[in-house]
Structure 1
């Protein structure tokens, strides 16, 4: 056996020994609070989650790995257990949570920190003290303001948070730790919120190595007549939350306003354009009045021939035809006729009288001058312009 082979074998044996020693060596305990029902570490909640059937024997247990918004269609009344370090749902989840409580569900929230939106709605204040250490001992009790049960001494429990209640609060005190309130019930609609500020009480270490009767007394406050119990796995510290794009948009005020503006605008566009659009109507030039052109041509012909008297007669004949067809008046050159025509046509009676008077004068003359023809024609044109039933209506 050559030296190279001996070196390889020796190295392999050495690595095998190191791997074996690593596997049999005691592992360091992970004291990080995960509060997950899947974790068997000291500060996981594996033991409690698997004991729910014994604690709530008549309840249907459901493990929820999604947000309240995603489960908004679940309308069953239930006892909901939320155990985490800091419970800070967004506005959409919080709205669903309030609806569930109002409809008769009971929500137990165990957390050192709770969102301000929730505490303000419940009219409570969470106080925190960061000076406590993990090895300190905490004295816990259940009961009410007038009568307290026996003391439970918990080691490795941080008393870092407690509850302060204003005088106007409707909260019912259910427990205290180191003489500070740490467990309350706040009625809300047909249900209630239960708030506990020491979530470590619910973890594996304290269930197994401290007095588990305290935990039974805490959970014993939940109504037993409700047959559904939901264990939350979504709001844990290390849970990877996957949010839908719509929820992200609705959770941000500016994006929510833009989204609803778009939806309303789209709806209005659809409603206003639901009917078939009519084609644009083309603009057509007005039709030429050939009759008027013909009359103008004939009139110019007579005018150029200097036959002014004959043209006066034709102008008056057209005027008489207009009066007969539009006002049904037979012309007899009397003041009564003038007055009747003025009333029906809306033309000043003086204009009407001047037309007839001027025509009689021109008709008796042997020769009519151009200026007289133009003056007479202007009088007739004034009548047509003032008349409410002029025959010069364009088609």
Structure 2
């Protein structure tokens, strides 16, 4: 290994080590992905709420449900409050029917999402827009018992509210309040409602961000979450249970199926790259293989033989003829070479033997070359005359060359 290669490898190692160092010491970027998964501690995860659920519902059991509602609610022994929390929740027809039956027999369904379609409950949602130059949105409970306190979420979000509801079966529990730069209320819309259905209820909320880690730890916003969930707490059938005996314990059924950030392993490589330790192990392994190829390949590489390119024999032949002509003026020798080259030309181009130069040969050559038989005979008579002479003049050589070139030129026409 030469000195120059060692310098390059050393620089490569320093660059790789520098990249590792920078990656290890630089501040980790905040992940604002709307996960809503209970295992995630990122701002839009729900790790804090999930951990606090047992304290918010001390008389209830918190169960994680990993199946879709249609499969899980097939067993009618599953009762309590089905808790849905995600960016978007869209049930298919069978799932919605199961949830409706679940509520009809005295259970509750809580859904906090930025988008949902529940035409069966006769509700519609819309997005609130205002003309205020600077606006702030607040969440507020409607019941005066909560003191009318407003809670502010300091990040942008879609201001979804309930534009149409079934007034006979719906109760407004919370509102979205929008204020302008002068702190004056410019809009107030319902964003938390209760819809009666059978013996149970649907609790619908259009601001799922309120239940995320970021909002729970922002100022006193956890109070708002506790106020919202207090409606569920008051509805627990702690003594008789929904559809159960006197000793049954109601449950909070925490949905983990409808979660944007739920665990998905689409491929082994996806799993490796999604885990920090495995990802760096994979990269280090690739770098190790690269070094192995560089050093091992250079050590064991077989020598590549040097192939000398073929010499240009045509150029050598031309130089030989030129020397003979200009230096020695050996016209006879030049003519002999010219004749031999011409006979070789006939053998290759027209596939004719030149051993016997007779009438049959003249006829075949005339037919294949396109020249007249008379022209062919005249040319070969001239060749024969030159071959019989011991020496020839320059004029004889020029005449021979012209006759041969005329013969070839006719073929090219």
Q: TM-score, normalised by structure 1?
A: 0.55
Residues 132 and 159 in structure 1, CA contact (< 8 A), matched pair in contact too: no
Residue 92 of structure 1 deviates from its aligned partner by: 0.7
Task: Give distance in 2, aligned partners of 1:77 and 1:54.
Answer: 20
Match of residue 88, structure 2, among 86, 89, 93: 86
C-alpha spacing 1:183/1:32, structure 2 compared with 1 (3 Å): same
Q: How many residues align?
A: 238
Match of residue 195, structure 1, among 178, 198, 204: 204
Residue 185 of structure 1 deviates from its aligned partner by: 0.7
Computing the radius of gyration over CA atoms, which structure comes out larger, 1 or 2? Answer: 1
C-alpha spacing 1:198/1:30, structure 2 compared with 1 (3 Å): same
Task: Give distance in 2, aligned partners of 1:207 and 1:11.
Answer: 47
Residues 80 and 107 in structure 1, CA contact (< 8 A), matched pair in contact too: yes
Residue 76 of structure 1 deviates from its aligned partner by: 2.7
User: Hey, what does 1:234 align to over in structure 2?
Assistant: 257
User: Hey, what does 1:13 align to over in structure 2?
Assistant: 14
Q: For 1:196-248, what per-residue CA distance to the aligned partner results, in whole angstroms no more than 9, with x for missing partners? A: 01111111110112421000000111024352111111112354899xxxxxx
Residue 83 of structure 1 deviates from its aligned partner by: 0.7
User: Hey, what does 1:177 align to over in structure 2?
Assistant: 176
Unaligned runs of 5+ in 1: 243-395
In the TM superposition, 1:148-227 aligns within 5 A as 149-166=148-165, 168-178=167-177, 179-210=188-219, 211-222=221-232, 223-226=235-238, 227=250
Residues 124 and 169 in structure 1, CA contact (< 8 A), matched pair in contact too: no
Residue 123 of structure 1 deviates from its aligned partner by: 2.1
Task: Determine whether 1:43 maps to 2:55.
Answer: no
Q: CA RMSD in A?
A: 2.8
Q: For 1:176-213, what per-residue CA distance to the aligned partner results, in whole angstroms no more than 9, with x for missing partners? A: 01121010111111111000011111111101124210
Task: Give distance in 2, aligned partners of 1:5 and 1:25.
Answer: 30
User: Hey, what does 2:109 align to over in structure 1?
Assistant: 107
Q: Which secondary structure does the structure 2 equivalent of 1:32 belong to?
A: coil
In the TM superposition, 1:1-395 aligns within 5 A as 2-71=3-72, 72-115=74-117, 118=118, 120-129=119-128, 137-144=136-143, 149-166=148-165, 168-178=167-177, 179-210=188-219, 211-222=221-232, 223-226=235-238, 227-239=250-262
Residues 162 and 191 in structure 2, CA contact (< 8 A), matched pair in contact too: yes
Residue 57 of structure 1 deviates from its aligned partner by: 1.7
Q: Which secondary structure does the structure 2 equivalent of 1:104 belong to?
A: coil
Unaligned runs of 5+ in 2: 178-187, 239-249, 266-413
Task: Give distance in 2, aligned partners of 1:67 and 1:208.
Answer: 30
Q: For 1:264-283, what per-residue CA distance to the aligned partner results, in whole angstroms no more than 9, with x for missing partners? A: xxxxxxxxxxxxxxxxxxxx
Residues 67 and 234 in structure 1, CA contact (< 8 A), matched pair in contact too: yes
Task: Give distance in 1, aligned partners of 2:54 and 2:145.
Answer: 32
Residues 139 and 175 in structure 2, CA contact (< 8 A), matched pair in contact too: yes
Residue 130 of structure 1 deviates from its aligned partner by: 6.9
Residue 87 of structure 1 deviates from its aligned partner by: 1.6
Task: Give distance in 1, aligned partners of 2:37 and 2:97.
Answer: 24
Task: Give distance in 1, aligned partners of 2:38 and 2:263.
Answer: 15
C-alpha spacing 1:201/1:150, structure 2 compared with 1 (3 Å): same
Residues 182 and 197 in structure 1, CA contact (< 8 A), matched pair in contact too: yes
